[in-house]
Amino acid sequence: MERVSVFFGHQQVLWDIDFRLYRGEFAVLLGANASGKTTLVKTLLGLIPAASGRTCLFGEPVERFKHWARIGYVPQRLTAASGVPATVEEVVTSGRAARVGLLGRYGPSDREAVARTLELVDLAQVKSSPVASLSGGQQQRVLIARALAAEPDVLILDEPVASVDLPHQEGFAKTIDALVGEGTSILMVAHSLGAVQRLVERAVVLERGRVAHDGPPIDLELEHAHHPEFGQRA
């Protein structure tokens, strides 16, 4: 995205953001609460319109972008956990809905991809459980699995490990490592880095809607991300 600004009503939340995710890169987007991280991601995905600037996906303006199968998006939390019950497998499979045509049906390759993803995030044994019965961390892994089931080239994660316990964070880090190894580009919004810290190649720090730092992750302790001087120091 180039020089992108976003307003909510009269309030500006993003100022002149320049950001580009490179192929095969693992970048994290850091910042305090309400610094505009989620807004940036949603603007990048065309979910929130930008007031000015240019947003492109794979070189194509987001409004005209067609190859959505190349992008996997993991939102902050499950939006509908308390609605009509659905099993883990059903939700993860729904990640592939756009890949089968409107009149199509799920085939063996869909089922294989779902089974593989469930193994990857360590949820295969609870695949027939209703999603609402899982812990917060497990639900977040369901969301990650749903995005991965579509086998995207770019994965965008909004605070994926916020409520994932430490052993599973380690598992998550391994998954990220494997995906980057396969050439998947990953942008992860995070409040804290946890187990993936060692994998981070690039950190972008947002501060009150502006990019305060963009580069290698120097001193990426969480306290620094919160520190008002962080942008200048880094």
Partner 1 sequence: MIRALIAGALVGMAAPAVGIYIVQRRLSLMGDGIGHVAFAGVAAGLLLGVSPIMLALAFAMAGAITIEVLRSRQRTESDIALALVFYGGIAGGVLLLGLGDVSTINLNSYLFGSVLTVSVADLWVVSAVAAFVVLVCFVLRKHLFAIAYDEEVARVSGLPVRGLNILVAVLAALAIGATAKVVGILLVASMLILPVAAVQQLTRSFRATTYASIGLGIVASIGGLVVAFYADLFPSATIVLLTILAFVATSLMSRTKLVG
Tell me if 185 sits within 8 A of 24, measured CB to CB.
yes
Pair type for strands 11-17 and 185-190: unpaired
- Please list the residues that pair with 206 across neighbouring strands: 31, 211
**Nearest-angstrom CA–CA distance, 134 and 117:** 17
Buried b (16+ CB within 10 A) or exposed e, 48-82: bebeebebebeeeebeebeeeeebbbbbbebeebe
Question: Which of residues 124 and 199 has its CB atom nearest to partner 1 in the complex?
Answer: 124
Does 90 bind partner 1 (CB under 8 A)? Our answer is yes
Stretch that binds partner 1, among 28-36, 127-135, 161-169, 170-178 (CB under 8 A): 127-135
Q: Which is nearer to partner 1, 80 or 218 (CB)?
A: 80
Inter-residue contact 144 to 160 (CB < 8 Å)? yes
Q: How many angstroms separate the CA atoms of 144 and 172, rounded?
A: 10
11 near partner 1, rule: CB under 8 A: no
Nearest approach, Cβ of 106 to partner 1 (angstroms)? 7
- Say if CB 156 and CB 19 are below 8 A apart: no
Q: Which of 31, 36, 75, 217 binds partner 1 (CB under 8 A)?
A: 75
Q: Is 85 in the site for partner 1 (CB under 8 A)?
A: yes
Q: How far is the CB of 103 from partner 1 (least distance, A)?
A: 6
Q: Both tokens of residue 5? A: 């600004």
Query: Is 214 one of the binding residues for partner 1 (CB under 8 A)?
Result: no
State the nearest-atom distance from the C-beta of 37 to partner 1, in Å. 16
Q: Which of 11, 33, 79, 232 binds partner 1 (CB under 8 A)?
A: 79
CB of 74 to partner 1, least distance (A): 8
Helix (H, G, I), strand (E, B) or coil at 18: coil
| Segment (H or E) for 185 | strand 185-190
User: Which C-beta is closer to partner 1: that of 32 or that of 117?
Assistant: 117
Nearer to partner 1, 98 or 218 (CB): 98
Q: Is 95 in the site for partner 1 (CB under 8 A)?
A: yes
Based on CB atoms, which residue is closest to partner 1, 6 or 91? 91
Amino acid present at 48 = I
Q: Give the distance from CA 132 to its chain's centroid.
A: 21
Residue 171 touching partner 1 (CB under 8 A): no
Residue 202 is given by DSSP the state E
Using CB under 8 A as the binding rule, whether residue 201 contacts partner 1 is answered as no
Which residues form the interface with partner 1 (CB under 8 A)?
42, 45-47, 66-69, 71, 73, 75, 78-80, 83-87, 90-91, 93-95, 97-98, 100, 102-103, 105-106, 128-130, 146-147, 150
